Structure 1
């Protein structure tokens, strides 16, 4: 048979999947993209200072190096351009239906096919469904009393309102994660007063960024081994962070010491600031952040940092547990994403009418983050427990795309729908959760964890171990009669 395949999303994960399939000779592919362009999070996140915190030579496809990155830590426009160029070079755009959101997908036991339902009212029947919606695509807003009562402008960092002029305004930033660390230094000089509401401080280490000159570009182009060396160096550095969190407490202590020196040095202009921003949890429990300008921005005279709990939002601003009313003109939510609600808000129904929501009622789980029992020929890119605490997710996506290629090739040869064996997936999940339960990520509250403490996002080992272990084996699957 020649399988027909639907891919949901055209970010890094969706592109990796389509390119891997096309390289294997599969061309009956349709990609559904709810927006009007490719790019995923790099299309959506346009806040000031938006950039990747993984060096671009490593945060890019191994099969498509870019010798002309403008910076080592590239900004959002350059990353989006890279994604667009890859889309065109590998002839992916002709497969994409833009402005089309998937609302549901249902497996038919009688035919062994999936019906994919679309926001347009149409539906498409395919053999394989690949979800590439990612973990960082749906902004999260905390349930704070009065959140919708604020009379001024308010928006999430991932939905930045560029029509709002912040010049001379009193601005509240709620949240101090990776996005806030990037946009706070950009807006601080132009606002009259900036109040940063910090629930939990991040560890920050120096950001060894640099602008790549025309000479760099020529060398990378003429001597590709130099670009490969740059990629290998940053693979080693980021994998080293994973080694620190997973295996080497002395190495973690060294990183913590480096972070402490960096943060103390950058906050000395404002007495007492270091004590406010120094974290109170083990390093590595949350993703550490690279920045050389966030803390100096907090030390500026027009910035106030408060760790007081927010008790409510009023029409005039933010109320905190100490009884203060912080009157502001604009609220910017830097509160991250709904990372543990994989595949939501789509409704996915598997074999025998089994809802994915029911399968995941205690938390998302999948075999190597990709396949789920009772959901034949449903494949997930960047699924449960495939996030990395230190490296590049694109490295993981390429491993998953290779697995997908082998999976679909096997399906094409046999013509029979496959589902991962329940006992195989359960044994795998038990092993992963056992490792995670004693890991550094279990020692604080973060976006890696559900409310009940189960860690559904992170891979507990190193990147190369995932790539080595996540190999398609037909023995892990059983054939579903159709």
Structure 2
């Protein structure tokens, strides 16, 4: 029986924050505040509005299990539809009244039994439990290229798209060739006078089996919900049983399954007719070392006569050109940065101060670590969502988030019985982190010969989960109080 009300702060209103708020309300908690620095919810699906923005996980899996959407318009949903889905969920479960829009948390400081949050308007707010639902892909990364800040023409990150810009007749430079670039390049390329992609490193790209769902299929899904559930299950099994073993187990399954995945990617590459271009697009590292991208039109766009691929690093930005390390000058009047995100900034720019005045950024100076990706010693009643080592190289992050939601709701229930605070034990984290890094050491992410955003500057894998989504669900199903020290109120 609940003996006290627990006040809960959630920072961020993407899939993590909205999903957690819904489940907390369903569990009977009412004192919930979601802090959102923007004027709308949605996280990455609010911010990434570039042309062609879409999910690379099938729609039926990239959605909450407790709120299935049976009428997705296509197999791989695009950004507007995903954002509309999140807005629908927030409205249906009456989460919007709990969200403080336009309010950024700049600091969170722990005192016995409570967290004090300071927001950008100078106000302070106190809560029993704090959840950072900021995600790994919320802070755009910008390369430190000399002259970039002084470039006189349009220059923007793909996550901050300039929708007022007409690309007709422009000479566009795209720096980067990852998941965002392969989506927007095919759309804007036909409009430009010239488009040059400055490739940082080649990616393995598989065909994207996308399709629009016909009206009869959507009606059938709505009348027989089991059909979309079976679709969700089928995609889940594909990731868990076939693709994930290629990534996490080098000895057993990778030699068997990896050639098949590689063959799929090579089949896509064969549409590139020019042999020299095809060679530059072929990775020199093992398939899966970086996230395998999906596209059925990127290679087509690169073969347009006015589209060019450059593999020499950009060294300087001039007023009307990009200069590369080989001394060449590449005319441009528009720059698009498709350079990804600062994936190790799990809580930035928020400053988090725990017990004994410990700053989380200082604690993580040698690499971010958290038990089950969620809790850190000396930061009681503080939980992360999509934290260290919870990213999946294949599958849907929403499945991982729902596992974390279950765990955090249990923590809130435990605190409601009377304890002031839960502080994860140091030895609990040490054992978990040692196991995680040991397992990652044999994964393709660590051994595949590439340098990805999964690895920090010391080549420590701080982002990825070393097992299956099923294993993570099992390990987060029950909160074990013995993993924590129960702290008094004072």
- Interval of TM-score (by shorter of Structure 1 and Structure 2): over 0.9
| 1:267 matched to 2:272 | yes
Contact residue 241 and residue 390 of structure 1 kept, 8 A: yes
| 1:10 matched to 2:13 | yes
Contact residue 248 and residue 440 of structure 2 kept, 8 A: no
Partner deviation per Cα, 1:225-265 (whole Å, 9 max, x = no partner): 1010110111112222112212311201210111112212x
1:161 corresponds to: 162
2:414 corresponds to: 410
Contact residue 73 and residue 213 of structure 2 kept, 8 A: yes
User: 1:405 aligns to what SS in structure 2?
Assistant: helix
User: 2:18 aligns to what SS in structure 1?
Assistant: helix
User: 1:82 aligns to what SS in structure 2?
Assistant: helix
Partner deviation per Cα, 1:179-200 (whole Å, 9 max, x = no partner): 0010000001100100000010
1:91 corresponds to: 94
Partner deviation per Cα, 1:37-56 (whole Å, 9 max, x = no partner): 11000000000000000000
Contact residue 57 and residue 231 of structure 1 kept, 8 A: yes
CA–CA separation in structure 2 for the residues paired with 1:192 and 1:238: 40
CA–CA separation in structure 2 for the residues paired with 1:401 and 1:83: 16
2:49 corresponds to: 46
CA–CA separation in structure 2 for the residues paired with 1:72 and 1:438: 33
CA–CA separation in structure 2 for the residues paired with 1:232 and 1:162: 37
1:472 corresponds to: 479
The alpha carbon displacement at 1:438 in A equals 2.3
Contact residue 147 and residue 313 of structure 1 kept, 8 A: yes
User: 2:393 aligns to what SS in structure 1?
Assistant: coil
In the alignment of these two chains, the number of paired residues is 478
| 1:144 matched to 2:145 | yes
1:246 corresponds to: 248
1:371 corresponds to: 375
The alpha carbon displacement at 1:271 in A equals 4.0
The alpha carbon displacement at 1:469 in A equals 1.2
1:175 corresponds to: 176
1:219 corresponds to: 220
| 1:31 matched to 2:37 | no
Counterparts of 1:63-462 in structure 2, within 5 Å, are 63-109=66-112, 112-239=113-240, 240-247=242-249, 248-249=253-254, 250-264=256-270, 266-268=271-273, 270-442=274-446, 443-462=449-468
Contact residue 150 and residue 317 of structure 1 kept, 8 A: no
CA–CA separation in structure 2 for the residues paired with 1:252 and 1:469: 27
User: 2:165 aligns to what SS in structure 1?
Assistant: coil
The alpha carbon displacement at 1:178 in A equals 0.1
Q: Give every structure 1 segment of 4 or more consecutive aligned residues whose post-TM-superposition deviation is greater than 4 Å.
A: none
Partner deviation per Cα, 1:447-466 (whole Å, 9 max, x = no partner): 11101101111001111111
The alpha carbon displacement at 1:155 in A equals 0.3
Contact residue 419 and residue 487 of structure 2 kept, 8 A: no
Contact residue 51 and residue 187 of structure 2 kept, 8 A: yes
Partner deviation per Cα, 1:78-131 (whole Å, 9 max, x = no partner): 00000000001111111001010110000013xx11000101111100100111
Partner deviation per Cα, 1:264-319 (whole Å, 9 max, x = no partner): 2x212x34211110111111110001110000000111111010111111122211
The alpha carbon displacement at 1:149 in A equals 2.2
Mark the runs of 5 or more structure 1 residues left unpaired by the alignment.
none
The alpha carbon displacement at 1:353 in A equals 1.1
CA–CA separation in structure 1 for the residues paired with 2:74 and 2:120: 38
CA–CA separation in structure 2 for the residues paired with 1:306 and 1:415: 59
CA–CA separation in structure 1 for the residues paired with 2:275 and 2:419: 69
CA–CA separation in structure 1 for the residues paired with 2:258 and 2:420: 48
Normalized against structure 1, the TM-score is what?
Answer: 0.98
The 10-residue stretch of structure 1 (69-78 or 314-323) with the greater mean CA deviation from structure 2: 314-323
Question: What is the root-mean-square deviation of aligned Cα atoms in Å?
Answer: 0.9
